[in-house]
Copies of this chain bind each other. A is one copy, B any other.
Amino acid sequence: MLDRQEILDLLATYCRGLDRLDRALIRSVYADDATDDRGTFQGGPDEFADFAIAVLTPMVSTHHMLGQALIEFEGPDVAFGEVYFQAQHKLADGSDFFVAGRYVDRYERRAEGWRIAHRSELNDWVRTEPAADQWFRDTPEALRGARGTADLVLRRHELRTR
């Protein structure tokens, strides 16, 4: 169960890395000799982190939400995962690009902990919609998700009761 939780935290950390544009965080979830294959990209962890930052930076915002993860252990140091996700991308022109898919992963326990040894992103469903909304009408800037260091999640240790 602890191994499983460590892997789940890895999956969530990956999404935080993408959505906050944090290259080091994206890189940290992969083993040094990992491979990543998503059709538009194939390569190792450093190349993937560079690719992801390059693709995502021009967008206005992204939200990578994970659903169920079916994780199977093959011995104490290897596991496979099928992880459902939905990703919302607000593009620079205001249009929306949606993807519903799955990550199909191999995890390996290394000296530094569990890491992604291989990730494939599968797309089950995509859709693009033209701009249709006044962006964040009701949300003051302080409570909009931000990329980089302005996001509240990076200041979470300051949160206090009254």
If A66-B67, A101-B145 touch, whether A33 touches B118 (CB-CB below 8 Å) is no
Which of chain B's residues has its CB closest to A116's CB? B161
Contacts of A101 in B (CB 8 A): 63, 145
Contact with B along A114-155 (1 / 0, CB 8 A): 000110111111111100110111111011110000011100
Interface size on A, residues (CB 8 A): 80
Check if A124 sits within 8 Å of B159, measured CB to CB: no
Check if A159 sits within 8 Å of B104, measured CB to CB: yes
Rounded to whole angstroms, the CA-CA distance of A148 and B37 in the bound complex is 21
Interface centre among A67, A69, A74 (most CB of B within 10 A): A67
If A100-B88, A104-B153 touch, whether A65 touches B68 (CB-CB below 8 Å) is yes
Instruction: Judge whether A34 is part of the interface by a CB distance below 8 angstroms.
Output: yes
Rounded to whole angstroms, the CA-CA distance of A96 and B157 in the bound complex is 35
Instruction: Judge whether A82 is part of the interface by a CB distance below 8 angstroms.
Output: yes
Which of B66, B104, B105, B124 is close to A62, meaning CB atoms less than 8 Å apart? B124
4 A-B pairs closest in CB distance:
A124-B145, A65-B67, A39-B143, A12-B68
A-B contact list, 23 entries, CB within 8 Å: A8-B68, A12-B68, A12-B70, A31-B161, A35-B162, A39-B142, A40-B139, A63-B101, A64-B84, A65-B67, A65-B68, A66-B68, A80-B159, A82-B156, A96-B127, A102-B145, A104-B156, A104-B159, A117-B159, A122-B143, A122-B153, A123-B144, A126-B135
